[in-house]
Amino acid sequence: MKKNIQKIIKSALTEAKKSNGWPDFELNEIIVDYPKSEQFGDYTSNIAMILAKKIGKNPMETANYLKEIICRPELVSGSRDVTNGAQSIEMLKQVQHDMTGIFEKIEVAQPGYLNFYLSKKYLQDIVEKINTEKEKFGNSEVGKNIKINNEFISANPTGPLHLGNGRGGFYGDSLSRVLRKAGFEVTNEYYVNDAGGQVEKLGHSVLKDEEASYTGEYIDELNKKYAKLKDVREIGKIAAREVLENIIKKTTKEKMQISFDEWTSEQKLSDEGYDKRAISLLKEKGLTYESEGALWLKTTDFGDDKDRVLIKKDGKNAYIAGDCGYMLNKIERGYSRLIMGLGADHHGYVSRLKAVALALGFNEDFRIIISQLVRLIKDGKEARMSKRAGNVINLDDLIDEIGHDVTIFFFLMYSPDTHMNFDLGLAKERSSKNPVFYVQYAHARIASILAKSQITNNLQQTTEKTKNLNFDRSKSLVVSCGLLTHEKELSLKVMRFTNFRNMQ
């Protein structure tokens, strides 16, 4: 719809230049957006205010003139007997003909907005379209043949997922669903940090020695199974693998209902030589140098605040070396776009990761989404949590207590770049205070109305009685969408599914 409105405005501008003597001008984009209030229509454009500066006219005068051109009766009707045979007129006529019946009216509002109001008939037709297409309604091909890698959660395999992981996880998965709806080929990916110092810390925790970092029931269970092995590094690797398989994967699939297409192991990438290959490539490009006994990457050449150590004095890889190997792996898999979700404590990683991508030759779209902190509010007070102290309220526990739908609804109510207070009491409230209650109550009311109307039973009976007859059963019961006339019945926000922005 936005594109259609942009077309009709563009055609009107072309006609205005010719018929009203407007000077020639260039526009980078004709902006069509949703108004802040429904009283100003379904769509709005500020084109007149932008134009006013270019043509030296009052914005309201400009808006009214554009409205006059767009709403000419002989053009809206699609009439072909217009004496002016200019191409702009013919284009405008065709666009208007295609739009006939879609708009109830077009109005001008201060200080120069063009507001478009959709007709009831059009909205009624949309209801029928939604009912027919069901979950396919709003599908788009804007992302056709474009591969996107969306990496999110990627928590260390050292314990159960916490609320912060849940926030980033639900947002990341929802983003993938929207992108797939728009036709993009999306890979959900989880990066398993199973090669760093955190694995050794987990080993010490399982042994419960003086260097232990984590506590909790899962540590007690791991201690019973593996403490006798004694080798800290080996215990850490085994324990990390078990945490990943029996805790993290179980939570994401069963509790969060998220499916990952790829589980990429940091250790496996290292074993396959990706970090070494990436470092060699960076050396070949002249993007490294030696200083103070270490090998450095020139990340400042790509916008980072300082250069980063790739290989430390002792010859061991710095953490960023693994990032380089992982980035090379993603590049070689042929993705056109990269998305990475990180926690609030990784804000400092943004510039260095983008620098790594550019250094390795990935000049496409790379977006990093930071999920800010989540504070759990219980009985009006913040519940202090520490993974190492073992008093974390795990994501599993939260979902078990309030349910999957309530959990995801609460997390998605807030933009990930804002701090969030997760009020456990409010989430459990069964009243109008709880925003989820409205959605669940509406669903329950609809189900109740359908049950009382016996529509479901009638459909079943019709199917049973007529299953051997040769006619279109989909037309056996017809519900008239023309009965939907109230503005609230026709406030169809789901229509916005069709207005995906082009990410290219």
**What is the per-residue pLDDT across 123-174, written as a single tens digit (0 to 9) for each?**
888 888 888 898 898 898 999 999 999 999 999 999 999 999 999 999 999 9
| Per-residue pLDDT, 466 | 39
**What is the per-residue pLDDT across 249-263, written as a single tens digit (0 to 9) for each?**
999 999 999 999 999
**What is the per-residue pLDDT across 282-334, written as a single tens digit (0 to 9) for each?**
999 999 999 999 999 999 999 999 999 999 999 999 999 999 999 999 999 99
**How many degrees, rounded to 5, is the angle at CA 241 between CA 239 and CA 247?**
90
Q: Which residue, 258, 251, 64, is CA-closest to 175?
A: 258
**What is the per-residue pLDDT across 260-271, written as a single tens digit (0 to 9) for each?**
999 999 999 999
- What residue type is assigned to position 115 of the chain? N
**What is the per-residue pLDDT across 412-432, written as a single tens digit (0 to 9) for each?**
999 999 999 999 999 999 888
Sheet holding 262-265, edge to edge: 262-265, 185-192, 147-151, 337-343, 365-371
| Per-residue pLDDT, 457 | 46
Q: Which residue, 163, 19, 162, is CA-closest to 88?
A: 19
> Is omega for the bond preceding 111 within 30 degrees of 0, making it cis?
yes
Residue 104 pLDDT level (bands cut at 50, 70, 90): confident
| Per-residue pLDDT, 87 | 56
Question: Mean of the per-residue pLDDT values for the chain?
Answer: 86
Question: Is it the case that residue 122 has pLDDT exceeding 80?
Answer: yes
H or E segment to which residue 187 belongs = strand 185-192
Computed over its alpha carbons, how large is the radius of gyration of the chain? 29
Beta bridge partners of 190: 263
Instruction: Quote the CA–CA distance of 32 and 12 in Å, as a whole number.
Output: 15
| Per-residue pLDDT, 198 | 93
SS3 366: strand
Please give the full DSSP string across 42-103, using - where no structure is assigned: SEEE-HHHHHHHHHT--HHHHHHHHHHHHT-HHHHTT-S--S---HHHHHHHHHHHHHTTTE
**How many degrees, rounded to 5, is the angle at CA 147 between CA 143 and CA 151?**
115
Residue 61 pLDDT level (bands cut at 50, 70, 90): very high
Q: What is the DSSP letter of 40?
A: G
Q: How far is CA 18 from CA 46, 47, 187, in A?
A: 21, 18, 50
Instruction: Quote the CA–CA distance of 363 and 336 in Å, as a whole number.
Output: 9
Q: What is the mean pLDDT of residues 451-465?
A: 54
Q: By the 8 A CB rule, do 184 and 204 touch? A: no
Question: Is it the case that residue 472 has pLDDT exceeding 50?
Answer: no
Long-range pairs, 498-504, Cβ under 8 A, ≥24? 498/1, 498/138, 498/140, 499/1, 499/2, 500/140, 500/142, 500/143, 500/181, 500/182, 502/142, 503/142, 503/143, 503/146, 503/184, 503/337, 503/365, 504/146
Q: By the 8 A CB rule, do 171 and 368 touch? A: no
| Per-residue pLDDT, 486 | 61
* Cβ-proximal residues to 336 (8 Å cutoff; 6+ apart), any chain: 146, 147, 148, 364, 365
Domains and CATH numbers, the chain: 2-118 (3.30.1360.70), 435-498 (no CATH)
The pTM of this model reads 0.82
SS3 424: helix
Instruction: Quote the CA–CA distance of 72 and 322 in Å, as a whole number.
Output: 64
- Which single residue is written with the structure tokens 């379904």? 42
- Higher pLDDT residue, 354 or 7? 354
Residue 439 pLDDT level (bands cut at 50, 70, 90): confident
| Per-residue pLDDT, 385 | 62
| Per-residue pLDDT, 454 | 62
SS3 216: coil
